[in-house]
Amino acid sequence: MNGDNKKEEKVLDLPKIFLYFFEIVVLILLFSYIYFSMSENKDYSGVYSEHAQKELIEALFTSLGLEGIHSIPYLGMNPVIQIYIKQNDYFVNSYYLEVVDGAVIINDGIIKDKDILIWTTEEEIQKIITDENYIKESLISGKTSIEKFTSNFVLFSKGYPDLFIQ
């Protein structure tokens, strides 16, 4: 009689609990992946947008005639240009361009080994892009400055235009 009236004890089914937990985690990761992958298609425009500034830098690169620069054959010394874009009195964005095998790579930050350094503003870049002769006026007025960190021979060997070799 004692054996028949005993209540059966419920045992936790750990594998089922683990699988339910795992399913929830997978669903959360899946939904977050979908959400963030859809957010990449947004329009990145605005004054402080990094994407917009990189597009400006690409346009500046072309308007300054830098598409012909290249690494020095057999030495592998790639052209590197540091660019500081001043936003206001306290905020400066720093980027550097590196030309590797003909491809222009734009990165955030500061690089130690550079050929030239360009200080400018977004407004000056816009003016330089729209008027190819404006760069000289911008340099004379001091709104844009170019500083060399290597010799004229190295700049010439990498194919920099005369504007940077002077």
Give the pLDDT mean for 88-100: 85
What is the value of pTM for the model shown? 0.67
Does the pLDDT at position 70 exceed 80? yes
- Give yes or no for residue 42 having a pLDDT over 70: no
Q: Is the pLDDT of residue 27 over 70?
A: yes
Q: Which percentage of the chain shows pLDDT scores above 70?
A: 85
Report d(CA 157, CA 52) in Å as an integer. Answer: 31
Q: Which of these, 63, 130, 61, lies nearest to 97 by C-alpha position?
A: 61
For 46-66, the pLDDT digits (tens) are 445 667 788 888 888 888 888
- Contact status, residue 140 vs residue 124, Cβ threshold 8 Å: no
Mean pLDDT of 91-110: 89
Structure tokens at 53: 């500034």
Q: Which residue has the tokens 């004692």?
A: 2
Instruction: Provide φ and ψ at 98, rounded to 5°.
Output: -135, 130
